[in-house]
């Protein structure tokens, strides 16, 4: 291929992407790839200036405006900016500026480069009369009716003494929070969601119906002026920004005057560090010579001013190949599809994996193994697959199908109605959920194993002493003393706490199993209704749905949990190790001995904790309240009962000591 053909091919490709990006708001490639194409063309034309033509993408900005809108011609062209991608590029820019001006230092205005849609607003005698997109730089689409709906664009300038004509240049964008809310609303309404805030802003601004635009969370930052008539301009760009702000126009609070190249680079580093906490997308910073006199002296090249440049951040998007989709099991059993990628450098790091979120997102984006995909990485955020390029899809690309069994333990997976997450049902057995299952099992409201904290659980699992909760009851002091910060006394105390936990209630045990959506109240309802664990484990969906607090989702979770042989084996081992409770088969739901009675517990008990006493009373049908009233049937009073005892006495509420409590509970 000769040079002419190569240049023509580059021009055709760039023109296609200009049309996709500026006109259709549906870019096919990330910005970094577009920048590469443009720089390649610029380099070739620089070496062969005789081949430059008037219609080359290097000689104009953007693409033709949409025919659906009217056209507004810019009296002063809206030019693009040259790009810098490294400190060397910025130093070279500064050197060119100072050499042309014959100056040692030059002040610049530095501000974030927003990733939105450039617009021009025209005010006549302080009244907004028109708005236009950048278009091809010379003329743009007439979006006057739409910009009027944006709250941050004033319809009338504030104050007096404004120019008779003022053209304001700015960037319309959508905040990240607004973008998230918009997509959530679109999903609920069954409508198309947007890929990123820039596309959402551009699509919203180009609505033929301004009522639609008005419903979108758009905003603007103004960064400069075009035509100004009947007004004495200030000497500096920074002063002009202050005037715009005083007239009620929104300018970036992040802009700053920097006086030398060191301050330019420092500003870049500071804004890059803030990039991920800003509520709007930026892709670099812009430097503009501050003094208008110096701007005039520097002038323009064909498509950009010599007095300004954009210093781009490392690319956050790139193209690569999706080689496989693996399933990762999280600590709570959630199954997440993970993209395995051909390594690609993006956002300052080499990326080989990226999240695909869930099955629904994969289907919505129509992502298949073998696709060329757009990868996005923003700072420390986990890389994600944004979209697939369908026009590059190979014939053998494979659609995604979610697994039906957990890849870590082989248990069934379940997806509840109305949820997007698929989960493993092997909660007591699955290696991925091991630590969380043990921590929950030992927690205060479950089996309450005192001294078995998170760090100790981590050590037990990492030293392969415990693979599931049943293994806790086989631990001995010698094994425990080998762990970090575990002395003889601590080991003895933990062994005792584990043994003490063997005596529990059915409700606590059910809660300790960690069945999804089965909290304390639901566990108590299940214990009261079924009385025995064996009955509950074999319960039909119909029987489960008859229990208060149990709906279709909870019933499905319970049945799925007990359907797994792995879970049943762990439960059998727990019972063999001596974990036990009092069955409630002698009581029916309609004939619980304490049903309808309300108790309050106060003070310290000797034989059990207050939580244990509460669970025992509830198991017999009682309601346990936190405050004493005239409707209280009894106050369980331990040591140091406090003000609740005084109030109960004044109201004539029966006082129950610990001995009488144990009698009521049939524990003595």
Task: Please give the average per-residue pLDDT across 26-49, as a whole number.
Answer: 86
> Is the CB of residue 265 less than 8 Å from the CB of residue 202?
no
Q: Across the chain, what does the average pLDDT equal?
A: 89
Residue reference for tokens 């100004």: 228
Q: What is the pLDDT of residue 18?
A: 74
Residue 59 has pLDDT above 80, yes or no: no
pLDDT at 122: 95
What's the fold here for domain 598-664? Rossmann fold (3.40.50)
Q: Residue 198 pLDDT more than 70?
A: yes
CA distance 522 to 13: 62
Task: Report how far Cα 426 is from the mean position of its chain's Cα atoms.
Answer: 27
20 DSSP assignment? I
- Does residue 66 register a pLDDT over 70? no
SS3 breakdown of the chain: % helix, strand, coil, rounded to 5?
40, 20, 40
Compute the distance between CA of residue 608 and CA of residue 503 in angstroms, rounded to an integer.
11
Q: Is the pLDDT of residue 331 over 60?
A: yes
- Show Cβ contacts of residue 615 under 8 Å, excluding neighbours closer than 6 positions: 505, 507, 508, 524
- In the prediction, which pLDDT does 514 show? 93
pLDDT at 343: 94
pLDDT per position as a tens digit, 270-325: 999 898 889 999 989 999 999 999 999 999 887 789 999 999 988 778 899 999 99
Q: Which CATH superfamily is domain 3-59 in?
A: Helix hairpin bin (1.10.287.610)
Per-residue model confidence (pLDDT) at position 345: 86
Q: What is the mean pLDDT of residues 166-187?
A: 93
**Is there a contact between 311 and 84 (Cβ–Cβ < 8 Å)?**
yes
Rg of the Cα atoms in the chain:
35
pLDDT of residue 142: 92
Query: Tens of pLDDT along 374-408?
Result: 998 865 568 889 899 999 999 999 999 999 999 99
Q: What is the pLDDT of residue 207?
A: 85
DSSP 387-411: EE-GGG--TT-B-----SB-TTT--
Question: DSSP letters along 227-248, please?
Answer: EEESS---SBHHHHHHHHHHTT
Taken in order 7, 133, 77, 30, the sign of the CA dihedral is negative
Q: Residue 503 corresponds to which tokens in the numbers above?
A: 């005596």
Residue whose token pair is 């229990």: 547
Q: Which helix (H) or strand (E) holds 346?
A: strand 334-346
Beta carbons of 21 and 27 less than 8 angstroms apart: yes
DSSP state for residue 192 in the 8-state scheme: P
Q: Write the CB contacts of 506 (distance below 8 Å, at least 6 apart in sequence).
A: 527, 531, 532, 533, 581, 582, 583, 584, 619
pLDDT tens-digit map of 580-621:
998 765 444 556 788 888 999 999 888 888 877 887 787 777
9 part of the active site: no
3-class state of residue 76 by DSSP: coil
Q: Backbone phi, then psi, for 518, in 5-degree steps? A: -100, 95
> What is the per-residue pLDDT across 507-521, written as a single tens digit (0 to 9) for each?
999 999 999 889 888
Burial of 627 (0-12, 13-18, 19+ CB in 10 A): exposed
CATH fold of the domain at 317-392: OB fold (Dihydrolipoamide Acetyltransferase, E2P) (2.40.50)
Minimum mean pLDDT among 37-51, 569-583, 603-617: which range? 603-617
CATH superfamily of 406-587: 5' to 3' exonuclease, C-terminal subdomain (1.10.150.20)
The Cα 177–Cα 359 span in angstroms is 24
DSSP characters over 350-372: EEEEEE---HHHHHHHT--BT-E
Strands 422-424, 413-414: pairing kind: antiparallel
**Max Cα distance, the chain (Å):** 105
The per-residue pLDDT for 72 is: 93
Instruction: Output the CA–CA distances (angstroms, integers) from residue 407 to 338, 403, 653, in the order listed.
Output: 13, 8, 58
Tell me 327's DSSP state.
Answer: E
pLDDT at 62 over 70: no
Domains of the chain, residue spans: 3-59, 71-312, 317-392, 406-587, 598-664
Average pLDDT on 365-375 reads 94
Q: What integer pLDDT is reported at residue 381 of this predicted model?
A: 66
Span 103-115, average pLDDT = 94
Could you give the C-alpha distances from 473 to 68, 432, 453, 470, in angstroms and in order? Answer: 74, 21, 16, 6
**Spatial distance between the Cα atoms of 274 and 475, rounded to a whole number of angstroms:** 50
Which residue do the tokens 């659906």 mark? 68
Q: What is the pLDDT of residue 322?
A: 96
Query: Residue 104's Cα: distance from chain center in Å?
Result: 46
Name the residue with higher pLDDT: 603 or 31.
603
Render the burial of 253-287: b for 16+ CB within 10 Å, e for the rest.
ebbbbbeebebbbebbeebbeebeeeebbbbbbbb
Of the listed ranges 119-133, 379-393, 553-567, the least confidently predicted one is 379-393
pLDDT (0 to 100) of residue 196: 82
List the catalytic residue out of 9, 16, 47, 113. Answer: 113
pLDDT on residue 468:
93
Residue-wise pLDDT for 199-220, tens only, equals 889 888 888 888 888 889 999 9
Closest to 177 (Cα-Cα) out of 217, 213, 219: 217
3-state secondary structure at position 160: coil
CA separation, residue 184 to residues 39, 151, 362, 383, 420 (Å): 38, 22, 17, 21, 14
- Tokens 């500071």, residue? 270
Q: What is the pLDDT of residue 587?
A: 47
Least confidently predicted of 1-5, 226-230, 248-252, 626-630:
1-5
Q: What is the pLDDT of residue 380?
A: 56
Question: Does the CA dihedral 605-607-609-613 come out positive or negative?
Answer: negative
Residues 209-245 as b or e (16 or more Cβ within 10 Å = b):
eeeebbebbbbbbbbbbbebeeeeeeebbbebbebbe
Closest CA to 175 of 279, 99, 47: 279
Please give the class, per CATH, of domain 71-312.
alpha beta
Q: In Å, how far are 78, 87, 180, 283 from 82, measured between CA atoms?
A: 13, 14, 31, 14
In sign, the C-alpha dihedral spanning 607, 608, 613, 615 is: negative
Q: Which helix (H) or strand (E) holds 33?
A: helix 31-47
Taking the C-alpha atoms of residue 31 and residue 17, their distance in angstroms, rounded to an integer, is 10
Pairing of strands 598-602, 634-637: parallel
């Amino acid at each position: 291929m000769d040079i002419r053909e190569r240049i023509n091919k580059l021009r055709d490709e760039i023109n296609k992407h200009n049309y996709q990006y500026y006109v259709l708001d549906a870019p096919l490639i990330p910005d970094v790839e577009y920048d590469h194409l443009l720089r390649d063309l610029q380099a070739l034309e620089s070496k062969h200036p005789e081949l430059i033509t008037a219609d080359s993408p290097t000689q104009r900005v953007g693409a033709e405006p949409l025919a659906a809108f009217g056209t507004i011609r810019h009296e002063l062209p809206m030019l693009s900016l040259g790009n810098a991608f490294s400190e060397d590029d910025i130093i070279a820019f500064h050197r060119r500026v100072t050499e042309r001006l014959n100056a040692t230092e030059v002040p610049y205005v530095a501000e974030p480069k927003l990733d939105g849609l450039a617009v021009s607003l025209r005010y006549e005698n302080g009244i907004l009369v028109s708005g236009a997109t950048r278009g091809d730089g010379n003329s743009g689409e007439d979006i006057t009716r739409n910009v009027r709906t944006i709250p941050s664009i004033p319809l009338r300038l504030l104050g007096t003494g404004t120019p008779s004509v003022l053209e304001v240049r700015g960037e319309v964008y959508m905040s990240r929070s607004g973008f998230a809310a918009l997509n959530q609303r679109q999903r609920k309404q069954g409508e198309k969601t947007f890929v990123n805030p820039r596309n959402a802003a551009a699509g919203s601004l180009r609505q033929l119906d301004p009522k639609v635009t008005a419903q979108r969370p758009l905003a603007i930052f103004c960064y400069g002026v075009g035509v100004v008539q009947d007004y004495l301009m200030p000497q500096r760009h920074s002063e002009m920004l202050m005037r715009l702000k005083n007239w009620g126009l929104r300018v970036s609070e992040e802009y700053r005057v920097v006086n030398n190249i060191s301050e330019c680079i420092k500003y870049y580093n500071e804004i890059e560090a803030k990039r991920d906490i800003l509520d709007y997308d930026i892709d670099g910073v812009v430097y503009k010579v501050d003094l208008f006199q110096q701007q005039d002296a520097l002038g323009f090249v064909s498509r950009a001013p010599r007095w300004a440049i954009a210093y781009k951040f490392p690319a956050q998007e790139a193209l690569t190949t999706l080689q496989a989709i693996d399933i990762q099991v999280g600590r709570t059993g959630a199954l997440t599809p993970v993209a395995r990628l051909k390594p690609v450098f993006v956002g300052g790091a080499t990326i080989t994996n990226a999240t695909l979120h869930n099955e629904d997102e994969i289907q919505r984006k129509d992502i298949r193994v073998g696709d060329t995909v757009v990868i996005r990485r923003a700072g420390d955020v986990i890389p994600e697959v944004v979209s697939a390029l369908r026009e590059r899809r190979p014939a053998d690309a494979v659609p995604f199908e979610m697994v039906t069994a957990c890849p870590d333990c082989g248990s069934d997976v379940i997806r509840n109605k109305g949820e997007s997450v698929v989960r493993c049902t092997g909660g007591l057995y699955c290696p991925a959920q091991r630590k969380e299952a043990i921590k929950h099992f030992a927690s205060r409201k479950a089996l309450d194993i005192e001294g078995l904290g998170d760090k100790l659980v981590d050590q037990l699992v990492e030293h392969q002493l415990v693979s599931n909760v049943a293994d806790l009851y086989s631990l001995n002091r010698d094994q425990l003393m080998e762990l970090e910060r575990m002395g003889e006394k601590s080991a003895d105390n933990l062994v005792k706490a584990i043994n003490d936990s063997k005596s529990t209630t059915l409700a606590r045990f059910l809660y300790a199993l960690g069945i999804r959506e089965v909290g304390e109240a639901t566990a108590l309802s299940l214990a009261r209704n079924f009385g025995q664990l064996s009955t509950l484990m074999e319960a039909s969906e119909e029987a489960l749905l008859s229990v208060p607090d149990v709906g279709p989702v909870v019933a499905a979770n319970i049945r799925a949990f007990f359907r797994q042989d792995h879970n049943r084996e762990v439960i059998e081992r727990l019972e063999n190790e001596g974990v036990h409770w009092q069955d409630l088969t002698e009581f029916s739901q309609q004939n619980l001995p304490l049903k309808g009675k309300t108790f309050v517990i106060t003070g310290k008990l000797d034989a059990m904790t207050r939580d244990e006493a509460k669970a025992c009373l509830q198991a017999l049908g009682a309601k346990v309240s936190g405050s004493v009233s005239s409707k209280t049937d009894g106050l369980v009073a331990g040591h140091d009962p406090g003000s609740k005892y005084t109030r109960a006495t004044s109201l004539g509420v029966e006082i129950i000591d610990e001995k009488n409590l144990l009698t009521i509970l049939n524990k003595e």
